[in-house]
Amino acid sequence: MNVKSRDPLLKLTKQGLDPEWIELNEKGYKDHGDIGYLWQFRTQAVVKYFETGRPEAYWDNMRRVGELQIELFKRFEAGEQISESYVETTSLSEFIQSLSGGCFDLIPEMNRCLKKVKADKTLYLFKLLRGLLARKDISSEIDLARTYYANKKKWSIHLTEVIAALYFRETKNFETNFQQLMKGYKAKYKYEVPEYKLIAIFPLGLVQLARHYGMDVQVQHELIPQDLIKPVQHSQ
């Protein structure tokens, strides 16, 4: 992304880091687990990365997103007045986004949290990603998802194939389907917060997972900075 396109988005993103807004988020999280506090770190990850040029600034803040989402589950289980909507299927998106920072050591705790989440029968993308993280056999679920999403939005079709490629450790299939997925990214996130228009956070989380699984995937996209991608972990 060129500077002319980036700077207005970065300026808009920084508005989410207004000191008064941060103070309100902190209080809201302390009092009743307001998820806006998590989103603050996501915003900070993007802003600090572009301001400093340091990948660590992004990785550290995205790790915090994952840690806080796990903490929300623990607080909910302890009986605190945490909205149930914060610990339902949407929590998986927060976890995948946090993995864009390469915090793979949090996956066991993520699995513990997600194991208790109830999902509708046809919420296949959630089931596939949850099973993938837990290293379960999801081959039959992949077949069901392919059938279910066959005549639906292309994003769901391509995401299913990306997850399948991760599961079967198929590097070329991942790259091909990821490229197709990203063709629909801007349309899908058109009305989302500005940080998603600076870095493709959720897709980057999928790339990081591939590298974590030992797949030497190569992706090129203006919203996925190459220096944020973690090295391949061949032991996985």
pLDDT per residue of the chain (236 residues) written in tens, 0 to 9 = 787 889 999 999 999 999 999 999 999 999 999 999 999 999 999 999 999 999 999 999 999 999 999 999 999 999 999 999 999 999 999 999 999 999 999 999 999 999 999 999 999 999 999 999 999 999 999 999 999 999 989 999 999 999 999 999 999 999 999 999 999 998 999 889 999 999 999 999 999 999 999 999 999 999 999 999 999 987 55
Q: What is the pLDDT of residue 236?
A: 53
Number of domains in the chain: 1
- Is residue 235 included in any domain, yes or no? no
- Is residue 236 included in any domain, yes or no? no
Q: What is the pLDDT of residue 226?
A: 98
- Is residue 46 included in any domain, yes or no? yes
- Is residue 216 included in any domain, yes or no? yes
- Is residue 32 included in any domain, yes or no? yes
Q: What is the pLDDT of residue 235?
A: 56
Structure tokens at 170: 């198929």
CB 31 within 8 A of CB 219: no
- Is residue 27 included in any domain, yes or no? yes
- Is residue 119 included in any domain, yes or no? yes
Name the one residue in this structure whose structure tokens are 């009305």. 191
- Radius of gyration, alpha carbons of the chain: 17
Q: What is the pLDDT of residue 3?
A: 79
Measured distance CA(151)–CA(157) in Å, rounded: 9
- Is residue 118 included in any domain, yes or no? yes
Give the structural domain span for 186. 3-228
